[in-house]
């Protein structure tokens, strides 16, 4: 059986969207991951043989070799691991002396990244002009064509969706501060007045409890976050507000309604918090878009 080493440690949303590869990779897959996100991955997947925390990977794999290594993390520890574990074919990030490099097969994606060989300015320009989804580039690395293959993550079969329950993820992490949105409180009031119940998602002791919270929802509203990706994985219709990240990179699976800030280009992947950006989309616009999306989906179901 073909042995495959997949190195993708984080972030959580990126792990979710990388799981599309579990639909097409054939062989014994070893996935190296940040242990915080290991519970995103599915249980009892026929190809996913091992899940190894990145801190243990060098030791666990020191006497192993693989037929294929797919190295997707822009990180020196992961790059060293990819370079040091013997493999028949290496695709992705690796070390070249003291520098992080990437193979030609992945240039389409990593030319837009923080480790771009073209430099930061050129990478940002290419990223702003990109019209392809992450999955397009991911499959392209392997010489495959993305055909809408769904995510493949853990799901608790005992959790049932609750009618009229709207999940709302107000948090967005610290890396891209303009992912935040100023209108969640006002929107929650509007939704409640319209007869919906709102679940404000919060930190849970166990990641899978958080995933279960999302699985209960009939609809989800958030920014470009883990919650959005989980909703898509669970076939839950969703609405996401894009203030500073690329809406083009997100495949909608026929479920996602995107609202793009009019200030997107000036805040594109900006690191500085800008109040004007997070307030650039009004609660009324989001509420109206939500209602239209719900009505559209109901009409589609009738047809």
Burial class, 224, CB count within 10 angstroms (exposed 0-12 / middle 13-18 / buried 19+): buried
Give the sign of the dihedral formed by CA 195, CA 201, CA 205, CA 207.
positive
Give the DSSP letter of residue 129.
H
For residue 160, the model assigns a pLDDT of 97
Retrieve residue 278's tokens: 């997070």
Q: What is the pLDDT of residues 209-267, one digit of tens each?
A: 999 999 999 999 999 999 999 999 999 999 999 999 999 999 999 999 999 999 999 99
Asked whether residue 183 carries a pLDDT value surpassing 80, the answer given is: yes
Statement: residue 303 has pLDDT above 70: no
Residue 173's pLDDT band, with cuts at 50, 70 and 90, is confident
Beta-carbon count within 10 A of 152 CB: 19
- Helices then strands, each counted (H, E), the chain: 12, 11
Report pLDDT digits (tens) over 91-142: 999 999 999 999 999 999 999 999 999 998 999 999 999 999 999 999 999 9
Q: In the chain, which ranges are continuous DSSP H helix? A: 12-18, 54-60, 76-84, 107-110, 120-129, 134-141, 184-193, 207-215, 226-233, 264-267, 275-278, 283-302
| Contact between 26 and 46 (Cβ < 8 Å) | no
258-284 core/surface letters (b: 16 or more CB in 10 A; e: else):
bbbbebbeebbeeeeebeebbbbbebe
Residue 1's pLDDT band (cuts 50, 70, 90) = confident
* Mean per-residue pLDDT, 133-154: 98
Indicate whether 86 pLDDT > 80: yes
The confidence band for 281, taking pLDDT boundaries of 50, 70 and 90, is: very high
Asked whether residue 170 carries a pLDDT value surpassing 80, the answer given is yes
Preceding peptide of 11 cis, ω within 30°: yes
List pLDDT tens digits, range 8-43: 999 999 999 999 999 999 999 999 999 999 999 999
Closest CA to 31 of 14, 48, 16: 48
Q: Exposed/middle/buried for 85, CB within 10 Å: 0-12, 13-18, 19+? A: buried
Predicted pLDDT of residue 174: 84
pLDDT at residue 300, as a whole number: 78
- Confidence bin at 298 (pLDDT 50/70/90): confident
The average pLDDT across 157-167 equals 97
């Amino acid at each position: 059986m073909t042995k495959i080493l997949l190195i993708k440690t984080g972030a959580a949303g990126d792990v979710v969207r990388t799981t599309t590869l579990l639909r097409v990779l054939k062989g014994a897959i070893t996935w190296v991951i940040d242990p915080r996100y290991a519970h995103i991955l599915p249980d009892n997947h026929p190809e996913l043989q091992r899940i190894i925390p990145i801190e243990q990977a060098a030791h666990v794999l020191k006497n192993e070799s693989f037929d294929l290594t797919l190295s997707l993390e822009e990180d020196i520890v992961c790059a060293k691991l990819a370079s040091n574990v013997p493999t028949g074919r290496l695709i992705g990030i690796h070390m070249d002396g003291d520098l992080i490099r990437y193979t030609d097969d992945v240039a389409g994606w990593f030319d837009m990244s923080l480790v771009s060989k073209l430099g930061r300015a050129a990478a940002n320009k290419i990223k702003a002009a990109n019209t392809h989804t992450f999955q397009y580039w991911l499959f392209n690395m392997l010489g495959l064509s993305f055909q809408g293959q769904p995510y493949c993550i853990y799901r608790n079969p005992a959790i049932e969706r609750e009618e009229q329950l709207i999940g709302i993820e107000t948090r967005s992490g610290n890396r891209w501060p303009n992912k935040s949105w100023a209108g969640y409180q006002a929107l929650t009031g509007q939704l409640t007045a319209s007869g919906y119940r709102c679940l404000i998602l919060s930190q849970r002791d166990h990641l899978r409890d958080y995933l279960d919270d999302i699985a209960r929802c009939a609809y989800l509203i958030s920014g470009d976050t883990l919650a959005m990706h989980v909703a898509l994985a669970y076939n839950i219709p969703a609405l996401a507000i894009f203030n500073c990240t690329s809406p083009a990179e997100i495949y909608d699976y026929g479920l996602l309604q995107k609202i793009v800030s009019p200030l997107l280009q000036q805040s594109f992947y900006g690191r500085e918090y800008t109040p004007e950006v997070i307030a650039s989309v009004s609660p009324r616009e989001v509420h109206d878009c939500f209602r239209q999306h719900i009505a559209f989906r109901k009409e589609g179901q009738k047809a």
